[in-house]
Structure 1
Amino acid sequence: MDLQLRNKVVIVTGASEGIGRAAAERFSQEGALVALAARTQNDLDNVANDIASTSGNAVIGIATDVRKEESVKALIEAVVKKWGKIDVLVNNAGTSSASRLEELTNEQVDEDFNLKVKGAIFCTRHALPYLKKSRGCICNTTTPGGKAPTAGTQPTALSRAAGISLTKTWAFEFANDGIRVNTVCVGFLRSRQHKLRWEQAAKQNSELTLDQFYDQFNARIPMGRVGEAKEAGDVIVFLCSGAASYVTGTAINADGGMSPVV
């Protein structure tokens, strides 16, 4: 299937690892020109070189802190200076932060909201004039917890619910400009974050293997396994492609069936 992404200019935030990197790899494989954004330039350079060497297409990395609007503005300006347009924006910055109310700090709430919600707003605000010109696409990464939160999942469930709300709002606001906006609600994936949690757990139980650590999630997932970043990245790329030209305002679960809501 031709996803009609050749020579499209794509910005992916949170692109140095995980879902962002996986989406960037697939975009590049499909012929897109990809700008990677994250905070550490050295990491971005390494990822950009890896992806470009495999796909043969141009990939650049631009150090960006999406919590700071001036940094986001510089990102957008650099991409437009390089390639003259923007066709796709993937708002993917942010990792899980989860606590019960008794342990939840104001700093946690502020950091999570600034990174995931205000970061998406800043990126979309400054990319919007160019997305209007290209009649482009936006995809926000959220989680099923934004639809159906459980105990001990704040502030991430709060910020992800806001991301889903922004998705629907922007789908209505930008429809007349030909811009589609969707979100992928990502469930449990193999990730660096979960590996770090396993390492902490292994300090208490030295016999605990990484696979055994993931087994605790497998039992809660109807498909019986934790997902891979590539599986979420592929959904993001599809939603931003010509193959999804009539899809907007949707929140698609990529969670192995774990969410109790569709």
Structure 2
Amino acid sequence: MDLGLADKVCLVTGASTGIGRATALELAREGARVVVAARNREALETLAAEIERAGHPAPVRLTADLTAADGPRALASAALSACARVDVLVNNAGGSRPLARADDEAAWEESFLLNFTAARRLTDALAPAMLDRGWGRIVNVSGALIAKALNAASPAKAALESWSKAAAAAYASRGVTVNCIAPGRINTPQILDRLHPTEEARRAFIDANIPAGRFGEPEEAAALIAFLASERASFITGAAVPVDGGSLRLAF
């Protein structure tokens, strides 16, 4: 299936690992001009080398701290300086934030900056030009599970989905779509090293929550992101699509 992404400029945040990395590789395979952003420059260089080895043009690599006050606008400016336009924005940067204390104000603030505000600010910087051109795709990576243990990322991701639906309604008549994918447990360093560091913990979680009987792969999430970023998905907007193996929506 031709997704119509050849020569589209696609900016992927949080591209150094996991879903972001897999998405950059998938978009490069589709012929897109890829711009990858993350804090870890070394990981971006490794990703660029892999994309080049696969026979695709090297992506533009941009280091960025999206939690900084000027981080999103600085990234938008750098991407536009490098490529003149951005057609597709994948707001993937984010992370789980388990809390030891419910009143940890600094942790709450950092989580909302990373998991919600950064995506909103970056979109606000890039969407006006998409609207002027009459074409654009914004894909936001949220989350499928609501944990019983207190985690500052869950409300932030809920805010991201709510805002995405409002933005989708506002932009739909001008050719710009806004959608979310909601990953469940995916085999990424964050999941495997921090949330479920042992095989026993992984198996217990799978048995209790995932009918498919396994964690997902980053490439499975990336495939959906690429589709939502494509010409083929022009009539899909305001959606939040789970990629979670049929998981129960309450994780213990």
Q: Distance in 1 between matches of 2:71 and 2:99?
A: 29
Q: Distance in 2 between matches of 1:134 and 1:34?
A: 20
Q: 1:78 offset after TM fit, Å?
A: 2.2
Q: Distance in 1 between matches of 2:186 and 2:156?
A: 19
| Pairs within 5 Å for 1:159-170 | 159-170=156-167
Q: Distance in 2 between matches of 1:141 and 1:96?
A: 12
Q: 1:198 offset after TM fit, Å?
A: 7.3
Q: 1:237 offset after TM fit, Å?
A: 0.9
Provide Cα deviations, 1:70-99, integer angstroms capped at 9, x if missing partner.
232222222222222111001111111123
| Native 8 Å contact 2:134 2:174 kept in 1 | no
Per the alignment, in what secondary structure is the counterpart of residue 98 of structure 1? coil
**Residue 232 of structure 1 corresponds to which residue in structure 2?**
221
Per the alignment, in what secondary structure is the counterpart of residue 94 of structure 1? coil
| TM-score (norm: length of structure 1) | 0.88
Q: Does 1:119 align with 2:108?
A: no
Q: Distance in 1 between matches of 2:218 and 2:114?
A: 20
Q: Distance in 1 between matches of 2:194 and 2:40?
A: 22
| TM-score (norm: length of structure 2) | 0.92
Q: Distance in 1 between matches of 2:97 and 2:51?
A: 29
Superposition RMSD in Å: 1.9
Q: Distance in 2 between matches of 1:125 and 1:48?
A: 27
What letter is aligned with 2:225?
I
**Residue 26 of structure 2 corresponds to which residue in structure 1?**
26
| Pairs within 5 Å for 1:208-223 | 210-219=198-207, 220-223=209-212
Q: 1:69 offset after TM fit, Å?
A: 4.3
Q: Distance in 1 between matches of 2:15 and 2:41?
A: 11
Q: Distance in 2 between matches of 1:55 and 1:181?
A: 30
Q: 1:53 offset after TM fit, Å?
A: 2.2
What letter is aligned with 1:217?
F
| Native 8 Å contact 2:95 2:114 kept in 1 | no
Which of 232, 242, 248 lines up with 1:243 in the alignment? 232
Which of 120, 129, 148 lines up with 1:151 in the alignment? 148
Provide Cα deviations, 1:209-251, integer angstroms capped at 9, x if missing partner.
x544421222120111111111111111111111211100000
| Native 8 Å contact 1:217 1:225 kept in 2 | no
Q: Which runs of 4 or more aligned residues in structure 1 lie more than 6 Å from their structure 2 counterparts after TM superposition?
A: none
Unaligned runs of 5+ in 1: 202-209
Q: Does 1:191 align with 2:180?
A: no
| Native 8 Å contact 1:188 1:217 kept in 2 | no
Q: 1:58 offset after TM fit, Å?
A: 3.5
Change (3 A) 1:111 1:198: closer
- More displaced stretch, 212-221 vs 247-256: 212-221
| Pairs within 5 Å for 1:1-262 | 1-99=1-99, 102-103=101-102, 105-132=104-131, 133=133, 135-145=135-145, 149-197=146-194, 210-219=198-207, 220-260=209-249
Q: 1:134 offset after TM fit, Å?
A: 5.2
Provide Cα deviations, 1:175-204, integer angstroms capped at 9, x if missing partner.
1221000000000011112332379x6xxx
Per the alignment, in what secondary structure is the counterpart of residue 70 of structure 2? helix
**Residue 207 of structure 1 corresponds to which residue in structure 2?**
none
Per the alignment, in what secondary structure is the counterpart of residue 167 of structure 2? helix
Per the alignment, in what secondary structure is the counterpart of residue 65 of structure 2? coil
Q: Distance in 1 between matches of 2:127 and 2:175?
A: 11
Change (3 A) 1:191 1:104: farther
- More displaced stretch, 45-54 vs 249-258: 45-54
| Native 8 Å contact 1:136 1:180 kept in 2 | yes
| Native 8 Å contact 1:35 1:60 kept in 2 | yes
How many equivalent pairs are there?
A: 248
| Native 8 Å contact 2:9 2:87 kept in 1 | yes
